[in-house]
Amino acid sequence: MIPAMPATAAASHRRSAHRGPARRGSARRGSVGRGASRRASAVVWRFGRLAAAWVVVSLILLAGVWGSWGTAQHVMLTKGREQGTITVVRCGAESCSGPYTPLSPGSLARERVVIEKTVAVRGGRTYTVVVKPGGGDDVVRSGPAGVLYAWVPMGGALLLASVVVAGGLGRARLGWVLAGSGVALLTAAFVAV
What pLDDT digit, counting tens, does each position of 99-121 carry?
999 999 888 899 999 998 887 78
Size of the chain, expressed as the number of residues it contains: 193
Determine the average pLDDT of the residues in 134-142.
85
Determine the average pLDDT of the residues in 142-155.
92
Sequence-distant (≥ 6) Cβ neighbours of residue 55 within 8 angstroms = none
36/42 Cα distance (integer angstroms): 10
132/141 Cα distance (integer angstroms): 10
Q: How confident is the model at residue 44 (pLDDT cuts 50, 70, 90)?
A: confident
Q: Return the pLDDT at 1.
A: 47
| Contact in structure between 77 and 141 (CB atoms under 8 Å) | no
Lowest average pLDDT, out of 5-9, 124-128, 148-152, goes to: 5-9
Please state, rounded to an integer, the average pLDDT across all residues of the chain: 84
More confident residue, 151 or 19: 151
Burial of 146 (0-12, 13-18, 19+ CB in 10 A): buried
